[in-house]
Structure 1
Amino acid sequence: MSVLKKLAGETALYGISTIVGRSLNFLLVGIHTKVFLPEELSVNTELYGWLSIAAVLYTYGMETTFFRFASKENKMEYYNLILSALILTSIILSIILISFSTPIMNMLGYPDQEIFMTWLVMALAIDSVMAIPFARLRLEKKPLQFVKARMINIFINIFFNVFFLIFCKDIYEGKYLTFLKPLISHIYFPEIGAGYIILANLIANIFLIPLLWKLFSDFHFRFDFTVFKKLWEYGYPIMIMGLASTINGRTDILLLKHILPDNFYPNRTAEQALGIYGNCYKLSIFMLVAINAFKFAAEPFFFSKAEDRNSPKIFSNVMKWFIIVCVFLWLLVSLNLDFLDAFLLNKDIYSEGIGVVPVLLLANLFLGIYYNLSVWFKTTDRTYFGTLITFLGAGLTIILNLLLIPVLGYMGCAYTFLISCFAMMAVCYLLGQKFAPMPYDTISAFGYIASAGLLIYFNSQIHISNLFVSIVYHLTILTLYILGIVLVERKTVIPLKIREKYAFLR
C-alpha cells in the first residue's frame, strides 16, 4: 500500500499543474464561447486537431524511449542524444511546414490565414523539444520543478488570452480606457480574431525556454547513429502507436466539417457544427486531466517496478483505484451538465451539443484503462502489439466516423470514439492476459462502470429547472456513491481499528 501511496502522491503533485491548468483553461472555454461564434472557432478546432497528429511525428516516441533506457543506464548519455535528435528534427519539420503553410491552409479551406499555422508550428516545435527536459524532471523525481514550470506556462497562456481577447479587444472597441486605443491599435488587429488563442499559446511556450534553462546548462549536443538506431528501433513502434491513437482521437474533428450533410442541423452550417462539437468536447477535459496526471507519474513508475516480483499485484491495485477515480469524475461532470452549460457555454447555440459529453467521458475512461493495460507490452519490449492495437482503433474510428457522422452528426463522432476506445481496451486486456497475465479485478471494474452508467442514464430522464436544487440533488447522489465505494473497499480505505469497533464495517 505504501507503493500506491507514493504513486498517488506523485500523481497528485503532477495533477496540481494538470488540474489547475486544465481547470483554468476550462474557464477559457467561457471566454472563447462568449467572444466568438462557433464558425469563428472552427479554424482553431481543426488546426489543433492536426496539431495533435503532428506532435506525435515531432517527438516520434522518444519520450517513452528516454524512460526505457535512461532509467537503467547512463542517463545523461541518452538525454544528450535524444534531445539533440529532437532539436534537429523539430527545426527541419518546422521549416518544411511553414514553407508550405499557404497551400496547406488553402486546402483546409482557410485562405489568407497561414500565419495561424506558422504560430502553431513554432509552438509545437518548442513543445516537442521541451518534452525531454520535462521527462528528465519526472525521471529524477522532481515533480515540484515540473509543476512550477507547467503552472507558469499555463498562467502565461491564460494571461495573454485575457489580454488579447478581452483587454485589447474592449479598448479597441472603445468600451473603456479609450486613451490607450492608439497604442492598442499597434498590437491588436480584429481580423486575427480567434488566432490570438494560438498566439497566446506560442508566447507561453517561448517562456518555457528560460523556465527550463537549467536543464540545458549541462546539455551537450551529440549524435551517435549506432546508439540512436537502437533508440529508434524501440521508439518508432511507439510513434506509430501514438499516431494511430491520435488519429483515433481526432479523426472526428478532422472529418466532421467535410462529411456532415448540408442542413443536417437546421439553420446550422458545417463550420458551426464543428465549433459546437469542439467546444462541448472540451467539457470532457476533467477525465483527460486525471489520465494525463496519472501518466506523468505512472510511466516512470511502471518501468521502475517492472522487475519487482510483486508488480502484478501492484499494477492490479493501481488499475482498480484509477478506475474508481475516473468513474467518480465521469459522474461528477455528467450529473452537473446543467451547471456547466449555464456557466461555461455562454451562447445557446453551444448547448445543442452538450449530449456528447457523457459519451466522450466514458470513451476517455476506457482510453485511460488502455494506458494502464499497455504496461505489459511496454515493459516487455513488445511495443509492436501496441502498434497493432492502435491501428485497430484508428481503423474503426475512420470507418465508423464515415458511416455514423452522416446519420448521427456529432453524436456519431462521440459514439465512434467510445466504440474505438472500448475495442482497444478489450483487445489489449485479452492479449496482456495471454502474454503477461495480471490479476486485475474485472468484476469490481465492471460493477463501478455499470453502476455509474445507470445513474447517469436515469439522471438524464429527470429534469430539475432550479439550478440550485439540481446541484444539491446531484451532490447528494455523488456523496451516496462515494459512501458506497467506501463500504465496498472498506478493508483498504478504513483503518482496522475502526472496522473492529463497528461490526457493519468488518
Structure 2
Amino acid sequence: MNPFRKLAGQTAIYGLPTIVGRLLNYLLVPLYTRAFIPAEYGVVTEVYAYVAFLFVLLTYGMETAFFRFASREEQNNTVFATAMASLGVTSALFSVAGLLFAPEISARMGYGNHPEYIRWFILILATDALSTIPYAKLRLENRPLRFALIKIVNIGANISFNLFFILLCPYLLSKHPDTAISGLISRIYNPETGIGYIFISNLIASLLTFALLLPDILHKSMKPDPALLKKMLSYSWPLLIFGMAGIVNETFDRVILKHLLPGTTTEAMAQLGIYGACYKVSILMTLFIQTYRYAAEPFFFDQAKGQHPQDTYARMMHYFLIVCLFIFLSIMLFLDIVMLFVGEAYREGAPVVPVLLLANLFLGIFYNLSIWFKLTDKTTYGAIISVIGAVITLLLNYVLIPKFGYMGAAWATFACYASMMVISYFLGRKYYPVKYNLAGAAIYTIIALLLYGSSLLILTDDLLVRYGSSAVLLLFFIVFVAYRESKVFRRVIHKA
C-alpha cells in the first residue's frame, strides 16, 4: 500500500475516537465553566498539570523503547512482558507511597481539606501507566480498530459520569426532594464534592479501560528478560528527561501561574482558570497533532526499513504543516464563535489563543523532526533539546508572568517550542539529513498569517459580512493549496 495512504488511513482510525472523544470532552468545558467559578476550575487546571508531570515520570520513555525494540527483536512478546513488568513494579511502588502520604501532599499543594484528590489521582496515574504498553502493542500490530474501540469506551465512560454527577444528580435532587429518588441519589452523590466528580469520572474511565486491556496483557506467557530490560532502560532514560522537560514546557505555566501573579490567591486561581479554559480552545490543533503521533510513531520506525525513508519523512512534514495551518485559520477566523464554548467569565482570555495555536504548531513540527534522534539512537540529544526548552520556559515564565499575567505564560510557551523546533532541525541536518521543503513551508505559513492579519482589518458589527469575509479567506487558502499541490495529489492517488 502507498505509505501515505496507509498513514492517512491509520491516522483516521486512531484519530476518530480521539477526535470525537476530545471534542465531546471539549463540550464538557462549557459545563465546567458554567458549573464552577474560575477559582474552582483553576484547581482542576493545576491538578491536571501535576498529573502530566507524574505520568511522564511513571512511564519513563518505556512506550518509545517498546516500539524501538519490538520493531527489531524477534521475540516481541518478550519485549512486551519486560516493559509491562517494569511498569508494574514502578507503578505499584508509586501507588503505595502516594496513598500513604496523600494527606501531607494535599496539604503542601493547598488542598489540605481534600486529600481524596491525591488518592484518586494516584490510582488514575498508576492505571494509565499500566495501560500504556498494551495500547502501544495494538498500534505496533496495526490493530487500530480495537485501539479505537477501547478509546471510545474510555471517553464515553468519562463523559457519561461527568454528566451524571455534575448535571443529572443535582437536577434530580432539586426536582425530586424528599422522595425515594433523592434518597437513592444521596447515597452516591455529595454536593460538597464539587469538582471532585471530575476526578472520580476520570478514575472510573481509567479502571474500565485497564479492564478492557487485560486480555491483551494476560494471554502473554513470555517472561521478562532482565538483560533486555537493561537495554531498554538505557535507551529510554534520556526519553524520560526528554519527556519531563517537555512537560515542563507544556504545563509549567499552569503550575507556577498562581505563585507569580499579583493579588490574592483567589484572584490568582481565577486567572489560572481563565488561562486553562482558553488553553482548551486550541484543542483542534492539539487533537490533530496527537492523533497524527499515534499513527506516525510506529510508521516512522516501519518506514526506516525501506529505501530512501527521508523522502517520505519530508513529504509527511509538508502535509502536516498544511493541515496545521488550515486548523489555525479555521479557529482564528471564527474565534468569536469558538469562544462561545467557554463561559462568559472566561472569554477575556481570548488573546492567548493565536499565540498558543502557533506554539502547538511548532511543537507538532518538532515531533516530526524528532525522528532523527529516535532512529539514530541518539535520544540523549532529544533530552538536551527539551532541557533547553525547559530552561527557556522557566526563565520566561518568571520574567513575563508578573508583568503580563497569563499572556506572558503564552508567549513563554511560544518561545520555548520555536527554539526546540529550530535546534532540532539544525542538529537533524547533521546526524540524519532530511530535505524538507522549506520554501513550500515558508510560502504556506506566510499566506496563512497574511490571511489572518487581513481578517483583523475587517472591523464591522455585521455578522454576515464578518463571517462571510472569514469564509472567503479560508476558502482562498484551500484553493491556493489545492492549486499548488494538484500535481502531487494526482501522483499520490495514482500510486495508491
TM-score range, shorter-chain basis?
Answer: over 0.9
Show the counterpart of 2:211.
210
Q: 1:449: Cα distance to partner?
A: 1.9
- State the superposition RMSD in angstroms: 2.0
1:427 aligns with 2:423: yes
CA distance in 2, matches of 1:166, 1:280: 23
Show the counterpart of 2:471.
475
Q: CA distance change for structure 1 residues 169 and 467 in 2, over 3 Å: closer, same or farther?
A: farther
Please say which of residues 410-419 and 463-472 is displaced more in the overlay. 463-472
1:491 aligns with 2:487: yes
Show the counterpart of 2:63.
63
CA distance in 1, matches of 2:271, 2:243: 27
Q: Would the aligned equivalents of 1:339 and 1:467 in 2 still touch at CA under 8 Å?
A: no
Q: 1:176: Cα distance to partner?
A: 8.3
Q: 1:469: Cα distance to partner?
A: 5.0
Show the counterpart of 1:353.
349
CA distance in 2, matches of 1:98, 1:210: 22
Q: 1:27: Cα distance to partner?
A: 0.3
Letter in 2 for 1:8: A
Q: 1:221: Cα distance to partner?
A: 7.4
1:108 aligns with 2:109: yes
1:10-58 deviation digits (Å, cap 9, x = unpaired): 1111110111011111101011111111101111111100000100111
Show the counterpart of 1:312.
310
Letter in 1 for 2:4: L
DSSP 3-state at the match of 2:399: helix
Show the counterpart of 2:440.
444
Q: 1:295 aligns with which of 274, 287, 293?
A: 293
Unaligned 5+ runs, structure 2: none
Q: Would the aligned equivalents of 1:338 and 1:467 in 2 still touch at CA under 8 Å?
A: no
Letter in 1 for 2:434: M
Show the counterpart of 1:82.
83
CA distance in 2, matches of 1:299, 1:497: 23
CA distance in 1, matches of 2:316, 2:484: 17
1:382 aligns with 2:382: no
Q: 1:450: Cα distance to partner?
A: 2.3
CA distance in 2, matches of 1:88, 1:468: 60
Q: What is the correspondence of 1:62-461 to structure 2 with a 5 Å cutoff? A: 62-73=62-73, 74-174=75-175, 179-220=180-221, 222-262=223-263, 269-342=267-340, 344-346=341-343, 348-461=344-457
Q: Would the aligned equivalents of 1:43 and 1:110 in 2 still touch at CA under 8 Å?
A: no
Q: 1:8: Cα distance to partner?
A: 1.0
CA distance in 1, matches of 2:222, 2:43: 37
Q: 1:468: Cα distance to partner?
A: 5.5
Q: 1:172: Cα distance to partner?
A: 2.4
Q: CA distance change for structure 1 residues 237 and 455 in 2, over 3 Å: closer, same or farther?
A: same
1:48-88 deviation digits (Å, cap 9, x = unpaired): 00000100111010000000001111110000111111111
1:250-299 deviation digits (Å, cap 9, x = unpaired): 110011111011279xxx81010000001110111111111111111111
> Percent identity of the aligned residues?
40
Show the counterpart of 1:29.
29
Letter in 1 for 2:52: S
1:157-199 deviation digits (Å, cap 9, x = unpaired): 0000000000002222337896511111111111111111111
Show the counterpart of 1:504.
none
Q: Would the aligned equivalents of 2:79 and 2:224 in 1 still touch at CA under 8 Å?
A: no
CA distance in 2, matches of 1:142, 1:177: 51
DSSP 3-state at the match of 1:352: helix
Q: 1:335: Cα distance to partner?
A: 1.5
CA distance in 2, matches of 1:495, 1:434: 31
Q: CA distance change for structure 1 residues 476 and 104 in 2, over 3 Å: closer, same or farther?
A: same
Q: CA distance change for structure 1 residues 158 and 472 in 2, over 3 Å: closer, same or farther?
A: farther
Letter in 2 for 1:168: C
Q: Would the aligned equivalents of 2:82 and 2:226 in 1 still touch at CA under 8 Å?
A: no
Unaligned 5+ runs, structure 1: 499-506
The alignment of Structure 1 onto Structure 2 pairs a total of residues equal to 493
DSSP 3-state at the match of 1:309: coil
Q: Would the aligned equivalents of 1:171 and 1:178 in 2 still touch at CA under 8 Å?
A: no
Letter in 1 for 2:451: L
Letter in 1 for 2:425: Y
Please say which of residues 373-382 and 254-263 is displaced more in the overlay. 254-263
1:410-442 deviation digits (Å, cap 9, x = unpaired): 010110000100000000000001111101001
CA distance in 1, matches of 2:274, 2:424: 33
CA distance in 1, matches of 2:47, 2:221: 34
DSSP 3-state at the match of 2:113: coil
DSSP 3-state at the match of 1:317: helix
Show the counterpart of 1:501.
none
CA distance in 2, matches of 1:412, 1:305: 40
Q: CA distance change for structure 1 residues 169 and 374 in 2, over 3 Å: closer, same or farther?
A: same
CA distance in 2, matches of 1:162, 1:496: 44
TM-score (norm 1): 0.94
DSSP 3-state at the match of 1:204: helix
CA distance in 2, matches of 1:230, 1:444: 40
Please say which of residues 448-457 and 459-468 is displaced more in the overlay. 459-468
Letter in 1 for 2:438: T
